[in-house]
Chain A
Amino acid sequence: MMDLRFRDESTASKVISKLREMDLELRFMHVCGTHQDTLVKFGLERMLSEVGITIGQGPGCPVCVTTTKEVVEAITLARSGVTITVFGDMMAVPTPVGSLADIKAEGADVRVVYSVEDALRMSADVERMVFMAIGFETTSPSTAYALLNEPPKNFSVLSCHRLLPPALVALFSMGEVRIDGLIQPGHVATITGTEIFERFAGPKGVPQVVTGFEPLDLLMGVYMLAKQVKEGRSEVENEYPRVVRPEGNPKARELLSRAFRPVDRAWRGFPVLPLSALEVADDLADHNARLIYEDVLRDAPQVKEDMGGCRCGEVLRGIIRSEECPAFGKGCSPKRPMGPCMVSREGSCNISYRYRE
């Protein structure tokens, strides 16, 4: 398999020794669960910290950034008798009124799907189907495709899709965390292209490298960032040209612009971020669950976003590491998660827990 060569250990140790020679003290951020998984699974986090580089995960986990309010919307719909389809990681996310898994156990029709096409197929056997759509630019084109290709009449979308760049804007403007460089997510950039990140570059910006997902991709991405810092540059570089083209995937973006419109929305750990989410487009209102079930949703329980004791919000803003949460591994574990960062396999708490020594 061609990607095995992207794991070559001798190249990896060469990169590490180069970084050691550079003698740096830097803090980088990435925004992707797959990056976090690779960093922890292959021990890169530790190797890099030994040469002065720490890397934290920002708001790059779709399940984690989805708000309690949105999960409660799905729970409310399921309780009213609608069939809800979700990606598996969503099931166990706790809210003050329980999780989707809890209400499934009580008899509600909540089903796990692997793609929106599963949900479309299942629509044939049920009366009313709602697909709870989560994910960034990587996932939303598939929902767009479903919405635009004559979905069944009883199929609708509860869109919780997010756009990544507005969250980066927020991270910088909140200024709580020092970031010397950004590992930009290869899969989001596959759709958006690389130009969208230029706004964070330049004299007042930060070094950025769009990076792939093999261990060597990440090490090279880090090396390229470190080199930019050393040379005083703040540019957008692409470590992953085998997949990411400068123009991204225009066809996917065209689907997005026809099926959705950008709206303001809060993220877990963040206030309302302008134009940071995608809502079903007006001419597809017949498939917008928020409009179809407006009456049901009006009676949704009012819940607080703050989940007593869970510090996911700070984890998502890159202010604390999962291990710094007092509940980590004590009150909170994947079996008994207190927050979505411990539920989702893309969540930083879950990843740290899975690979802990």
Chain B
Amino acid sequence: MPAKILSIKGDEAEVDFGGAIRKTNLSMVKAEVGEYVIIHAGFAIQKVDEEEARETLQLWNEFLDSTKQD
């Protein structure tokens, strides 16, 4: 589940992880307050690209509506 960055101090960020506030190490990703990151074992390992997320959903729907197969 993606966590939302609430504040950043050096390599450390405070994130909202589905309602729970946690600290995470942010040294491996470039992300800003308000953005979402994927967290693993206490470290943010990647930023979630919200535009890609929206596009994925849209693509799925379009492609499911359009692909007709017999």
| A→B interface (CB under 8 Å) | 1-3, 5-6, 11, 14-15, 18, 21-22, 87, 114-118, 135, 138-139, 141-142, 145, 187, 190-191, 216, 220, 239, 241-245, 249, 251-252, 255
Contacts and interface: CB of A to CB of B under 8 A. Distances in A.
B41 A142 contact: yes
Given A115-B43, A249-B46, A2 B38 contact: no
Interface residues of B, number: 29
A141 B60 contact: no
Given A116-B42, A241-B52, A22 B28 contact: no
Contact of A243 (B25, B38, B60, B69): B38
Contacts of A15: 64
Contact of A220 (B25, B27, B43, B60): B60
A286 B10 CA distance: 27
Given A3-B1, A116-B41, A145 B46 contact: no
Chain A interface, >50% SS class? helix
Chain B interface, >50% SS class? mixed
Nearest to A137: B45
Contact of A251 (B2, B28, B38, B40): B28
B48 A243 contact: yes
Given A141-B43, A187-B45, 11 more contacts: A2-B50, A14-B64, A87-B41, A115-B41, A139-B40, A142-B41, A142-B42, A142-B43, A191-B45, A249-B29, A252-B28
B45 A249 contact: yes
A117 B49 contact: no
A11 B36 CA distance: 24
Contacts of B29: 249, 251
Contact of B67 (A11, A18, A142): A18
Interface of B: 1-2, 18, 25, 27-29, 36, 38, 40-43, 45-46, 48-50, 52-53, 55-57, 60-61, 64, 67, 69-70
A339 to B, nearest CB: 23
A11 B60 CA distance: 8
Contact of B45 (A5, A11, A138): A138
